[in-house]
Amino acid sequence: MLVDVRLTPKSAADRVEGRGTDAAGRMWLKARVRAVPEDGKANAALLRLVAKTLGVPRSAVTIVSGQTARMKTLRGVGEPKRLDLALDAL
């Protein structure tokens, strides 16, 4: 499953705030992490957060694109129904 995420680093807490849409109607998750965007720290924090939110191991979530961008595409590996339910709960 591919998930688009808009990441905000240097926040007060690590959390997924729900979903958002852009002008073209593309849906994405809003995520905030306390880590700074240096040396991949914010990306690592994002992967841990999304894995925890989806209820999968950290190794099941990877960044497909947007390594240095605010908008990222993540790939989550796992049972599709379970992942969909976790995302719908947001």
Per the listing, tokens 């999968």 go with 56
- Mean pLDDT, range 47-56, rounded to an integer: 91
76 falls in which pLDDT band (50, 70, 90)? confident
Which CATH number applies to 2-88: 2.70.170.10, 3.30.1200.10, 1.10.3210.10, 3.40.50.1110? 3.30.1200.10
**What's the pLDDT at 19?**
86
Spans of all domains in the chain: 2-88
Region 28-39: mean pLDDT is 95
Q: What is the average pLDDT score of the chain?
A: 90
Q: 84: how many CB neighbours lie within 10 A of its CB?
A: 12
Per-residue confidence (pLDDT) for residue 58, from 0 to 100: 93
Q: Give burial (CB, 10 Å; 0-12/13-18/19+) of 45.
A: buried
